[in-house]
Chains A and B, each alone.
Chain A
Amino acid sequence: MTFDLEFFNIGYLDTLSYRNSFVHRLDPRIKIIVSLIFILFVVSFPKYEISSLLPFFFYPVFLLTAGNIPLKAIAKKIFFISPFAVFIGIFNPLFDTGTMYTIFGVPVSGGWLSFLSILIKYMLTVSTALLLIAVTSFPGICEGLERLKLPKIFVIQLLFLYRYLFVLLEESLRMMRARDARSFGNRGKEIRTFVRLISVLLIRSIERAEMIFRAMLARGFRGEIKVLRRHTVNAADVLFLMISFTMFYIFRSYHVVNIMGAAFSTVLR
């Protein structure tokens, strides 16, 4: 049951996000903005680029280590969920067969280079997205989104969604267990049964929403929810933003890898 695992993974990332470290304490707005800038820089490289992408691993590794996040938790997700990028990228070696390099006598075609480049870009962007949520609590993200001027109603219902995600997931796990207990092998999974099962889940969800609404009214809800603001931009945030941006800019404009490689080989000589 892959979805079971997914579910516990959400819970796991959620617990990670409440740890206390330098990156956890940063203002969510800053983290969202820096991560977006990072991704823009990474995808702005031309399609055959490989070596210049490597220095960018500094940013996810920084989030990972400074945030004290276990490498396994992130690595597993990156390796398991990569169908689309791989599926589209794997065609490059088939269609782009012109030899671009010969490394130690082995010809390397442009297609393989661009495929490798897609994979590296994929690893960089996906790990950054996962690490962003691993070092920022979801309410923190919502606070950041609200203060980045996203529509308030969107942010509020996003908070609601997250709050009840776990409740409803458990509900549907119970229903699945009941279905499995009453059926053998692959039976009980026909579309007819499925439609009824999910309709019941839908009705229960809507009824729950009505109960929640009544409870909210009882507690004085008047169509306005105050989103808690806990973060302020301080010196550490500004420093983090400036340093990361400068680093990204340097990595983008200079071939750090080649410069270092050349320096290293002169030292060897």
Chain B
Amino acid sequence: MHMADALLSPAVGGAMWAGSLGTMIYCAKKLREKMDEKMIPLMGILGAFIFAGQMINFTIPITGSSGHIGGGMILTVLLGPYAAFLVISSVLVIQALFFADGGLLALGANIWNMGVYPAFIAYPLIYKFIVGRNSSTKAITIASILSVVIGLQLGAFSVVLETRASGITELPLNTFVLLMQPIHLAIGLIEGFVTAGIVIYVRSLRPDIVENLEGVKTLSTGMSLKKVVIAFGVLAVVTAGALSWFASTRPDGLEWSIEKIYGRPEITGKSDSVKEAAGKLQEKTAILPDYSFSSKGGEEQRPAWPAVDTGTSVSGLLGGGLVLLLVVVFGMGIRAMSKYRART
């Protein structure tokens, strides 16, 4: 479910970063208020545990293919939402840097999709609600499966929304949703089942550990539904604000949606004469009069494109080849230089 940088627009990526950073700062503040020092090594170790646990694979029933855990919900059950959110974020940071899963800009979206929903929606509203009074094996199983499934569904739907809002893919919304949700329903059922198994098995083997953890994460018990709702309202407003700000400074994503609505990239206004004059001026000054390789020109002229100016597309190809060649020469030059310097 990792988003990639290449599928995001700066507006969406920036807005998701703002939302995730805000949540991280909020969680850190909450943890500082009532900190058990034990928590710091425990958080780090459990983050490392997620990686180590992902290395152990198992056979998925029916399909027979090999799978591994995601682990977001286990962290939340063990650590409580605030600490778990920070740990999930760090796992994603390391995945983005070392595994190239997702990317640096997409990291904000990934933290949101895979951290906020399990920690702040599925856990308090579903898991806590079911296991709150009755912590029987059956209750834990139902709670785990339900909360993991719902957390993953929300996350997958966010991926769809973020990708659509970025306007990079042509995939129709319905098809996209139909692709994403069922896959993540299957993943969620297995993950939820495994999560329940782990929680129950650890509790039966070492009840003291689970009780200890309950003591350490006292914070999470003080979380009321009202607070969650208020926090979410604030976050939604902040995110929306950030989104519109980014959108107005960098209109590329919006341009695309306007094109979808009006059938052409820009709403034609009266400024045509000014535009033409500016265009003429540019024609006189530029080395290459009109760029038919430029995307904007391409989009505007797309409906009627029979007359292809081969001259410009050839110069585009030539220039592209030239630039790539330069990049290679540049790189080899630096290599040679550092080798030379190492020798002397």
Q: Taking beta carbons and an 8 Å cutoff, which residues of A are in contact with B?
A: 3-4, 6-7, 9-10, 13, 21, 35-36, 39-40, 42-52, 54-55, 57-58, 61-62, 64-66, 68, 77-78, 81, 84-85, 88-89, 91-92, 94-96, 98-104, 110-111, 114, 118-119, 121-122, 125-126, 128-130, 132-133, 138, 141, 150-154, 156-165, 167-169, 171-173, 175-176, 186, 189-199, 201-203, 205-210, 212-213, 216, 221-223, 225, 255-265
Residues of A within 8 Å of B317, CB to CB, are 103, 261
Given contacts A46-B252, A65-B335, A102-B308, 7 further A-B contacts (CB under 8 A): A3-B54, A47-B295, A88-B163, A173-B55, A191-B194, A255-B291, A261-B320
Known: A39-B103, A202-B198, A213-B38. A265 touches B206 (CB 8 A): no
Known: A122-B4, A191-B193. A151 touches B97 (CB 8 A): no
- Of A9, A151, A265, which one neighbours B25 at CB under 8 angstroms? A151
Contact at B59–A186, with CB atoms within 8 Å?
Answer: yes
Does B288 sit within 8 A of A, measured CB to CB?
yes
Q: Which of B66, B163, B171, B319 lies at the interface centre, i.e. has the most chain A CB atoms within 10 A of its CB?
A: B319
- Closest A-B pairs by Cβ, 9 of them: A160-B44, A261-B319, A151-B28, A125-B5, A194-B58, A195-B197, A261-B315, A262-B288, A161-B47
Q: Please report the number of residue pairs spanning A and B whose Cβ atoms sit closer than 8 angstroms.
A: 387
Residues 282-310 of chain B: 1 if any A CB is under 8 Å from the residue's CB, otherwise 0?
A: 00001110011111101100100100101
Closest to A163 in B: B44
Residues of A within 8 Å of B94, CB to CB, are 158, 161-162, 165
Q: How far in angstroms is the closest Cβ of chain A from B21? A: 8
Residues of A within 8 Å of B310, CB to CB, are 102, 104
Residues of B within 8 Å of A138, CB to CB, are 97
Closest to A162 in B: B94
Closest to B303 in A: A98
Contact size range, B: 35 or more
Known: A46-B296, A262-B288. A157 touches B100 (CB 8 A): no
Contact at B104–A95, with CB atoms within 8 Å?
Answer: no
Task: List CB contacts (< 8 Å) of B1-52 with chain A.
Answer: 2-10, 13-14, 21, 24-25, 27-29, 31-32, 35, 37-38, 40-49, 51-52
Residues of A within 8 Å of B324, CB to CB, are 54, 57
- Of A99, A133, A205, which one neighbours B97 at CB under 8 angstroms? A133
Closest to B318 in A: A261
Task: List CB contacts (< 8 Å) of B54-101 with chain A.
Answer: 54-59, 61, 66, 68-69, 74, 86-87, 89-91, 93-94, 96-101
Residues of A within 8 Å of B87, CB to CB, are 157, 161
- Of B4, B32, B293, which one neighbours A51 at CB under 8 angstroms? B293
- Of B29, B198, B286, which one neighbours A198 at CB under 8 angstroms? B198
Residues of A within 8 Å of B37, CB to CB, are 213, 221-223
Does B277 sit within 8 A of A, measured CB to CB?
no
Residues of A within 8 Å of B288, CB to CB, are 255, 258-259, 261-262
Contact at B10–A40, with CB atoms within 8 Å?
Answer: yes
**A172, B69: Cα distance in complex, Å:** 14
**A117, B11: Cα distance in complex, Å:** 18
Contact at A169–B52, with CB atoms within 8 Å?
Answer: yes
Contact at B320–A51, with CB atoms within 8 Å?
Answer: yes
Q: How far in angstroms is the closest Cβ of chain B from A19? A: 11
Contact at B59–A39, with CB atoms within 8 Å?
Answer: no
**A176, B193: Cα distance in complex, Å:** 21
Contact at A44–B4, with CB atoms within 8 Å?
Answer: no
Residues of A within 8 Å of B40, CB to CB, are 153, 156-157, 160, 223, 225
Known: A165-B94, A172-B53, A176-B55. A47 touches B41 (CB 8 A): no
Contact at A21–B6, with CB atoms within 8 Å?
Answer: no
**A208, B213: Cα distance in complex, Å:** 14
Known: A36-B105, A61-B330. A48 touches B323 (CB 8 A): no
Contact at A122–B56, with CB atoms within 8 Å?
Answer: no
Residues of B within 8 Å of A49, CB to CB, are 294-295
Residues of B within 8 Å of A156, CB to CB, are 40, 44
**A35, B5: Cα distance in complex, Å:** 12
Residues 308-344 of chain B: 1 if any A CB is under 8 Å from the residue's CB, otherwise 0?
A: 1010111111111011100110111011001000000
Can you list 9 A-B pairs with a CB-CB distance of less than 8 A?
A44-B252, A161-B47, A162-B94, A169-B55, A189-B58, A198-B53, A198-B56, A206-B213, A256-B323
Does B256 sit within 8 A of A, measured CB to CB?
yes
Q: How far in angstroms is the closest Cβ of chain A from B38? A: 5
Residues of B within 8 Å of A206, CB to CB, are 42, 45-46, 209, 213
- Of A57, A154, A159, A163, which one neighbours B89 at CB under 8 angstroms? A154
Known: A55-B323, A88-B163, A202-B198. A262 touches B6 (CB 8 A): no
